[in-house]
């Protein structure tokens, strides 16, 4: 299927920002862990943040030392906390900003602001060596990335129609997976080969800078070619209408049972999906998987995800996208169970392949199905609520792992609990499918 210029430019941004997702999953948590180890047990556990949220873990880490399970769990908890804080901020602001972005000419302006925030965050990740500052910059980077995605996702209705939306959305994820490995491989080469006399810390920081440049350059076609074709006639002067519009949109979501049930279902199942993606490396380290094995396995995930994301778009032409989403949820139930029992490197590899097969399909079809059932001229406001449910899920999932790490000294029980959310999501998607049949 051929795509027009706007569709191609929109897809290319997925290639741009997916490079950040990849380092957020792989090298950022590994580098973060190295900064924590360099600080030492005593320096970390005396930090006010650690004392406030991870007192139990801190005591166990003091006894076991820097190489203990308790110290690894503490690292997982801190990284999970950074994820929760960033998505909490984004989720709170997304509906309001989404309402403003539906005003003519505002969508791209707000997208550009958050893109700049994300790029600045990643650039500074490439210069700091203090774990507390690094943690703060992860939060800033994620706020920029997630905020920009609210407006990017809603641009799908501007560049494509309902008939092609599944395919275009799937192509975005697919080419994002395969394209993002280019700057990642360059960065990994610098880290492993250490050319030009580089030290590993400097090589890792340069890899972050390469990602920032990649993200910026590949965002230019979207900024140039994508136009906001669906918008409301509201003006910025009508500030009260922004909040009134939020209430109206919320009532519309409640009134349309398809949208209501789907957005609740999405909250449940995407919680597990995002948690597994964002916490894979830190959790792998906790169960003893080596850094090099994890990085290679994550590359395999990206490569596997490319054809399977494309396949999901093509399958959506034959089968209802909701049936496909339910199939992917079942796959994730198995993935979460595998994560719970995981002890060996080969299991991590199997998990990486399974995630690659499922993640592109479930994300892209969720985005395109929602785009098909909402009013197009209010797309950003609806996607704002879509994002708040998705981001609160991304807040809740890592928080489950952080709670598990803090309470039990291990995150695997949190992984198993994700299956409760997957099952609820599966049931609710079934209700949406039943409503579709009645239309």
Token match 């809740």: residue?
396
Q: Residue 407 pLDDT > 60, yes or no?
A: yes
Q: Residue 329 pLDDT > 70, yes or no?
A: yes
Distance CA 112, CA 57 (A): 40
Own/partner pairs, 191-197, CB within 8 angstroms, 24+ separation: 191/27, 192/292
Amino acid 75: pLDDT: 72
For 28-55, the pLDDT digits (tens) are 888 888 888 777 766 666 666 666 566 5
N-terminal to C-terminal alpha carbon distance within the chain: 28
Amino acid 401: pLDDT: 66
Domains of the chain: 5-224+250-438 (1.20.1250.20)
Amino acid 32: pLDDT: 85
Amino acid 128: pLDDT: 87
Q: Which of 206, 212, 200, 68 is nearest to 140 (CA)?
A: 212
Please give the residue that has the higher pLDDT: either 309 or 97: 309
Signed CA dihedral, 153, 158, 163, 168: sign only: negative
Q: Using the 8-state DSSP alphabet, how is residue 235 labeled?
A: -
Please give the residue that has the higher pLDDT: either 405 or 262: 262
Q: Residue 126 pLDDT > 60, yes or no?
A: yes
Q: Residue 153 pLDDT > 80, yes or no?
A: yes
Pick from 101-110, 196-205, 213-222: least confident: 101-110
For 181-206, the pLDDT digits (tens) are 899 999 989 988 888 888 888 999 99
Q: Residue 237 pLDDT > 60, yes or no?
A: no
Average pLDDT over residues 143-147: 89
Q: Which of 62, 138, 135, 66 is nearest to 285 (CA)?
A: 66
Q: Which of 439, 428, 403, 416 is nearest to 76 (CA)?
A: 403
Angle, in degrees to the nearest 10, between helices 379-408 and 55-64: 50
Top-ranked range on mean pLDDT: pick from 152-161, 254-263, 346-355: 254-263
Amino acid 245: pLDDT: 59
Distance CA 309, CA 360 (A): 5
Amino acid 246: pLDDT: 63
Please give the residue that has the higher pLDDT: either 358 or 30: 358
Average pLDDT over residues 61-81: 63
Please give the residue that has the higher pLDDT: either 329 or 26: 329
Distance CA 44, CA 77 (A): 13
Q: Cβ distance 94 to 147 under 8 Å?
A: yes
Average pLDDT over residues 332-341: 83
Q: Rounded mean pLDDT of the chain?
A: 80
Tell me phi and psi for residue 126, to 5 degrees. Answer: -80, 5
For 412-435, the pLDDT digits (tens) are 667 777 888 899 999 999 999 988
Helix (H) or strand (E) holding 286: helix 257-286
Q: Residue 323 pLDDT > 90, yes or no?
A: yes
Distance CA 289, CA 283 (A): 9
Q: Cβ distance 240 to 383 under 8 Å?
A: no
Pick from 181-185, 359-363, 366-370, 388-392: least confident: 388-392
Distance CA 339, CA 116 (A): 35
Q: Cβ distance 342 to 394 under 8 Å?
A: no
Amino acid 49: pLDDT: 67
Residues 6 or more apart in contact with residue 43 via CB below 8 angstroms = none
**DSSP structure string for 97-153:** HHHHHTBTTHHHHHHHHHHHHHHHHHHHHTT---HHHHHHHHHHHHHHHHHHHHHHH
């Amino acid at each position: 299927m051929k795509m027009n210029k706007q569709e191609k430019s929109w897809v290319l941004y997925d290639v741009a920002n997916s490079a950040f997702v990849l380092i957020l999953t792989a090298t950022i948590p590994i580098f973060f862990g190295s900064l924590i180890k360099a600080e030492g047990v005593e320096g970390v556990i005396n930090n006010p943040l650690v004392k406030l949220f991870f007192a139990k873990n801190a005591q166990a880490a003091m006894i076991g030392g820097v190489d203990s399970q308790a110290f690894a769990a503490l690292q997982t908890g801190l990284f999970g906390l950074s994820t929760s804080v960033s998505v909490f901020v984004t989720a709170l602001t997304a509906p309001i900003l989404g309402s403003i972005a539906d005003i003519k000419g505002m969508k791209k302006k707000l997208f550009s602001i958050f893109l700049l925030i994300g790029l600045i965050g990643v650039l500074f990740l490439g210069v700091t060596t203090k774990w507390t500052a690094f943690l703060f910059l992860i939060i800033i980077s994620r706020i920029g990335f997630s905020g920009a995605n609210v407006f990017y996702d809603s641009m799908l209705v501007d560049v494509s129609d309902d008939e092609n939306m599944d395919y275009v959305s799937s192509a975005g994820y697919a080419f994002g997976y395969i394209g993002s490995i280019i700057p990642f491989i360059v960065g990994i080469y610098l880290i492993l080969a250490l050319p030009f006399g580089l030290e590993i810390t400097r090589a890792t920081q340069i890899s972050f800078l390469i990602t920032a440049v990649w993200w910026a350059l590949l965002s230019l076609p979207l900024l140039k070619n994508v136009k906001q074709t669906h918008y409301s006639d509201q003006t910025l002067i009508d500030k009260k209408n922004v909040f009134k519009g939020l209430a109206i949109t919320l009532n519309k979501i409640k009134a349309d049972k398809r949208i209501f049930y789907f957005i609740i279902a999405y909250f449940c199942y995407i919680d597990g999906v995002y948690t597994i993606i964002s916490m894979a490396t830190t959790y792998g380290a906790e169960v003893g998987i080596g850094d090099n094995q994890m990085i290679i396995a994550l590359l395999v995930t990206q490569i596997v995800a490319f054809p399977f994301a494309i396949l999901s778009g093509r399958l959506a032409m034959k089968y209802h996208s909701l049936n496909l989403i339910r199939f992917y949820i079942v796959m994730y139930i198995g993935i979460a169970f595998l994560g719970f029992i995981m002890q060996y490197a080969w299991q991590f590899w199997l998990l990486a392949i399974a995630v690659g097969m499922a993640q592109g399909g479930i994300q892209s079809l969720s985005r395109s199905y929602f785009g098909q059932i909402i009013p197009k001229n209010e797309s950003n406001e609806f996607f704002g609520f879509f994002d708040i449910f998705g981001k609160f899920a991304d807040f809740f999932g890592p928080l489950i792992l952080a709670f598990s790490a803090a309470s039990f000294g291990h995150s695997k029980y949190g992984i198993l609990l994700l299956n409760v959310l997957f099952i609820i999501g599966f049931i609710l998607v079934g209700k949406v499918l039943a409503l579709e049949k009645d239309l």
